[in-house]
Chains A and B, each alone.
Chain A
């Protein structure tokens, strides 16, 4: 099957490495330290009021949550092309997963977000949240390319992990907590989950007249949720290493 074509293998490899990076990294927690209090104060004083109400998270401390929220907003911004990560509630997808299928990635998030903020300070003299969007992007480009320093297993792995999870939260089934109001699927022009697609439906899609279904897979009562919601098995999430 082509799902093991080299391009996918290499992406999986990258993601797996991202997960391992987390396990191997010394998780210098922001929470409780002076760094954390400082960051939180900065949020209170300098961060722009979010355009979308963000409920409290369950698996990330507040300061890290703010940093992640800001990163996600640059990865998938809300802009003239439509709603972004904030409207889709991508951070809620990640937060929920960090308590379940992605639990093994939690240390990588804590360590990586701390390293990101520290790198912003060393490169720009300010914390990530204090930077303007163009500077945030410049920092993220360094992180993506692996040039950013201070990441235990290379900044590129951290970036690849966050980007993969951001896409999952933006474009995955709303059942998992992201893709709110189907904004991710609307962005792609994906007309949604159907259990039957007739030849006439296909022709309607080709003619641009097929209406979006706006349903989660689990809005169809026939499907058992156990396979989706069961606790992760020993290896955690496939995207960060259960195939290993």
Chain B
């Protein structure tokens, strides 16, 4: 029998990028907040620049591996068997915001209105067949103040490209208008970044430094970036990466209203006789607890958000919590960020020291920033040339058909070329489809004997066409910068578990096709909020975390404002 704990106002499940943000406005408003986190706490002394620990082995071993224990299975289509995959996320205070790349993009205005803008400009027939995409329930303008809030509260470096409607070619001229510039200048560029930017300009494109939740100089008494080269899947040894563990969570703790509980594995969101959330049940050190709360916020990443809902069955919700419309798990997609292009240059790129969030972005071929009249797809891709190289990965470099992958020839090849290759990061518009979804796997279980999530999904024609088109653009860019050889990855494939996972609890006004309303609260359970990429109905062509955090702050803000009606 679960031990019943003292009531609280809000319980937040998961203290990562999303939940770790939401606790701050709640606690600042004077609500009593309890945060349940499956992992433990780590500090900068735990973040050694160690490729074997960070990138080869399970990082870091002191972290909880709950995410791995419940890693989803995946299959391309419903007619195939699903196989167990990996899980890229981690459990800890701060979650994956501890070791993510920290590229911190606002979505562009088009991403909120894919259906209406495509219909307006090209006709409804251009919407891909089988896609379940909808317009968001609000536009970019609604989220703009929350983007700004996150940029200043956590710290984001970058340069504005559209300040109150005034375009500035030093930044992204395709971004939506912003009221304030970033609080910090962008991360520095290397000689190679300058070369890539020059090459882009010769093509008539508009290069700019991408935004990063990483300090380019000291901010809020934390250091600026040290560019040491272990940021990719590594925590920051000087706290220059603005994870929630070093920003919003400590400030929430300082209010005296917020308590975090580590090592807590939530197994159920409970409901009362009226079908309202009454609190959550969790395991800690093999003991079961029930934490009653007036409002429950679910922020455990897309897969666990969906799984916890589907596993939280009750009389009122026999198919899972908030699933009486059968929408939990629907409209799922993994961001298409594969299909890379890799180039070989006749000179050193200088990528040993730096970070994935440092580099040159091209938005000319993203979203609807170019005329699609002559193309057979909608949306596009953001092209990104960054600094990211470590020795073991470098030794595994593509040899461009010039050597096998071992032996004397290979040694000669890597000796000359280890720092002469460059791989692009191309994020593509990805849409939800009828045939792509999450459900509970009928076979695979976690160590508690509960089914894991099954991903059924593959990239469709629209995504594959964007991939091929953007590879052409990327190769053009590399060649203009002096590349002597270029190779490409495959353009499609199944959707595996991703750090960019969208949908499953989509946000929208229509309760028939969406799980949460425009405020991020369940259509069916008024005091249950859901945070994370699982509420996003479109991806844009850029990293999701900034949008996830802006939405999390907005939902928390709404909970505070609507407290009396919600409770």
Interface residues of chain A, those whose CB is within 8 Å of chain B, are 1-7, 9, 11-12, 16, 74-77, 79-82, 84, 101, 137, 140-141, 144, 163, 166-168, 170-173, 175-176, 184-185, 187-191, 193-197, 199, 201-203, 205-206, 217-218, 220, 222-228, 230-235, 237-239, 242-244
Whether a CB of chain A sits under 8 angstroms from the CB of B450 is: no
CB distance from B457 to the nearest CB of A (A): 14
Taking a contact as CB atoms under 8 Å apart, the answer to whether A3 and B57 are in contact is no
Residues of the B chain whose Cβ atoms lie less than 8 Å from the Cβ of A74: 406-407
Taking a contact as CB atoms under 8 Å apart, the answer to whether B52 and A176 are in contact is yes
Partner of A188, one of B71, B226, B395: B395
CA distance A201 to B85 in the complex (A): 40
Most B CB within 10 A of own CB, among A5, A75, A82: A5
Taking a contact as CB atoms under 8 Å apart, the answer to whether A202 and B353 are in contact is yes
Taking a contact as CB atoms under 8 Å apart, the answer to whether B45 and A223 are in contact is yes
CA distance A74 to B395 in the complex (A): 16
CB distance from B51 to the nearest CB of A (A): 6
Partner of B61, one of A4, A170, A232: A232
Instruction: Tell me the nearest residue of chain A to B500, going by C-beta.
Output: A1
Instruction: Tell me the nearest residue of chain A to B409, going by C-beta.
Output: A81
Residues of the B chain whose Cβ atoms lie less than 8 Å from the Cβ of A9: 338, 496
Partner of A228, one of B48, B88, B340: B48
Query: Assuming A171-B392, A197-B229, A233-B58, is B49 touching A76 (CB within 8 A)?
Result: no
Taking a contact as CB atoms under 8 Å apart, the answer to whether B353 and A228 are in contact is no
Most A CB within 10 A of own CB, among B56, B68, B232, B490: B56
CA distance A196 to B229 in the complex (A): 9
Taking a contact as CB atoms under 8 Å apart, the answer to whether A77 and B407 are in contact is yes
Taking a contact as CB atoms under 8 Å apart, the answer to whether B88 and A4 are in contact is yes
Residues of the B chain whose Cβ atoms lie less than 8 Å from the Cβ of A176: 52
Partner of B350, one of A137, A166, A185, A205: A205
Residues of the A chain whose Cβ atoms lie less than 8 Å from the Cβ of B493: 6
Instruction: Tell me the nearest residue of chain A to B192, going by C-beta.
Output: A206
CB distance from A167 to the nearest CB of B (A): 5
Taking a contact as CB atoms under 8 Å apart, the answer to whether B339 and A81 are in contact is no
CB distance from A159 to the nearest CB of B (A): 9
Interface residues as binary, B390-422 with A (CB distance below 8 Å gives 1, 0 otherwise): 011011100000001111100110110011000
Instruction: Tell me the nearest residue of chain B to A232, going by C-beta.
Output: B61
Partner of A1, one of B61, B188, B391, B499: B499
CB distance from A169 to the nearest CB of B (A): 10
CA distance A1 to B99 in the complex (A): 11
Taking a contact as CB atoms under 8 Å apart, the answer to whether B353 and A197 are in contact is yes
Instruction: Tell me the nearest residue of chain A to B50, going by C-beta.
Output: A217
Interface residues as binary, B211-242 with A (CB distance below 8 Å gives 1, 0 otherwise): 00000000000000011110011000110000
Would you list which residues of chain B between 50 and 71 have a CB under 8 Å from chain A?
A: 50-53, 55-62, 65, 68-69, 71
Taking a contact as CB atoms under 8 Å apart, the answer to whether B496 and A4 are in contact is yes
CA distance A206 to B351 in the complex (A): 10
CB distance from B429 to the nearest CB of A (A): 17
Partner of A244, one of B86, B356, B406: B86
Partner of A82, one of B50, B352, B411: B411
Residues of the A chain whose Cβ atoms lie less than 8 Å from the Cβ of B232: 1, 3
Taking a contact as CB atoms under 8 Å apart, the answer to whether A239 and B86 are in contact is no
Taking a contact as CB atoms under 8 Å apart, the answer to whether B56 and A239 are in contact is yes
Interface residues as binary, B344-359 with A (CB distance below 8 Å gives 1, 0 otherwise): 0000101011101000
Taking a contact as CB atoms under 8 Å apart, the answer to whether B391 and A185 are in contact is yes
Taking a contact as CB atoms under 8 Å apart, the answer to whether B412 and A81 are in contact is yes
Residues of the B chain whose Cβ atoms lie less than 8 Å from the Cβ of A1: 88, 100-101, 232-233, 337, 356, 499-500, 543
Residues of the B chain whose Cβ atoms lie less than 8 Å from the Cβ of A189: 348, 415, 418-419
Taking a contact as CB atoms under 8 Å apart, the answer to whether B52 and A172 are in contact is yes
Whether a CB of chain A sits under 8 angstroms from the CB of B498 is: yes
Taking a contact as CB atoms under 8 Å apart, the answer to whether A137 and B226 are in contact is no
Q: What are the 7 closest A-B residue pairs judged by CB atoms, nearest first?
A: A243-B86, A227-B60, A223-B48, A6-B338, A171-B391, A188-B418, A197-B353
CA distance A201 to B229 in the complex (A): 13
Residues of the A chain whose Cβ atoms lie less than 8 Å from the Cβ of B353: 194, 197, 201-202, 205
CB distance from B205 to the nearest CB of A (A): 21
Taking a contact as CB atoms under 8 Å apart, the answer to whether A224 and B352 are in contact is no
CB distance from B2 to the nearest CB of A (A): 26
Whether a CB of chain A sits under 8 angstroms from the CB of B28 is: no
Taking a contact as CB atoms under 8 Å apart, the answer to whether A195 and B228 are in contact is yes
Most A CB within 10 A of own CB, among B50, B87, B232, B350: B50
Taking a contact as CB atoms under 8 Å apart, the answer to whether B228 and A197 are in contact is yes
Partner of B50, one of A77, A175, A191, A233: A175
Taking a contact as CB atoms under 8 Å apart, the answer to whether B395 and A170 are in contact is yes
CA distance A171 to B226 in the complex (A): 22
Residues of the A chain whose Cβ atoms lie less than 8 Å from the Cβ of B314: none
Taking a contact as CB atoms under 8 Å apart, the answer to whether B338 and A196 are in contact is no
CA distance A211 to B228 in the complex (A): 15
CA distance A233 to B59 in the complex (A): 11
Taking a contact as CB atoms under 8 Å apart, the answer to whether B419 and A188 are in contact is yes
Query: Assuming A5-B489, A74-B406, A205-B353, is B48 touching A218 (CB within 8 A)?
Result: yes
CA distance A225 to B68 in the complex (A): 23
Can you list 24 pairs linking A and B with CB atoms under 8 Å apart?
A1-B356, A3-B233, A4-B496, A74-B406, A75-B406, A76-B411, A82-B415, A144-B406, A167-B392, A173-B50, A189-B419, A196-B228, A202-B188, A206-B350, A218-B48, A218-B50, A220-B48, A226-B62, A227-B46, A232-B58, A233-B65, A235-B58, A243-B71, A243-B85
CB distance from A115 to the nearest CB of B (A): 19
CA distance A132 to B114 in the complex (A): 64
Partner of A3, one of B88, B348, B394, B490: B88
CA distance A74 to B410 in the complex (A): 11
Query: Assuming A1-B356, A5-B337, A224-B45, is B62 touching A168 (CB within 8 A)?
Result: no
Whether a CB of chain A sits under 8 angstroms from the CB of B132 is: no
Partner of B58, one of A81, A82, A137, A242: A242
Taking a contact as CB atoms under 8 Å apart, the answer to whether B414 and A188 are in contact is yes
Taking a contact as CB atoms under 8 Å apart, the answer to whether A172 and B56 are in contact is yes
Residues of the A chain whose Cβ atoms lie less than 8 Å from the Cβ of B562: none
Taking a contact as CB atoms under 8 Å apart, the answer to whether B391 and A227 are in contact is no
Whether a CB of chain A sits under 8 angstroms from the CB of B126 is: no
CB distance from B499 to the nearest CB of A (A): 5
Residues of the B chain whose Cβ atoms lie less than 8 Å from the Cβ of A187: 411, 414-415
Whether a CB of chain A sits under 8 angstroms from the CB of B1 is: no
Residues of the B chain whose Cβ atoms lie less than 8 Å from the Cβ of A203: 191
Taking a contact as CB atoms under 8 Å apart, the answer to whether A6 and B227 are in contact is no
Whether a CB of chain A sits under 8 angstroms from the CB of B190 is: yes
Taking a contact as CB atoms under 8 Å apart, the answer to whether B391 and A137 are in contact is no
Most B CB within 10 A of own CB, among A76, A80, A172: A172
Query: Assuming A6-B338, A9-B496, A206-B191, is B408 touching A81 (CB within 8 A)?
Result: yes
Query: Assuming A11-B396, A187-B414, is B71 touching A199 (CB within 8 A)?
Result: no
CA distance A168 to B51 in the complex (A): 9
Residues of the B chain whose Cβ atoms lie less than 8 Å from the Cβ of A206: 190-191, 348, 350
Residues of the B chain whose Cβ atoms lie less than 8 Å from the Cβ of A81: 408, 411-412, 415
Instruction: Tell me the nearest residue of chain B to A194, going by C-beta.
Output: B228
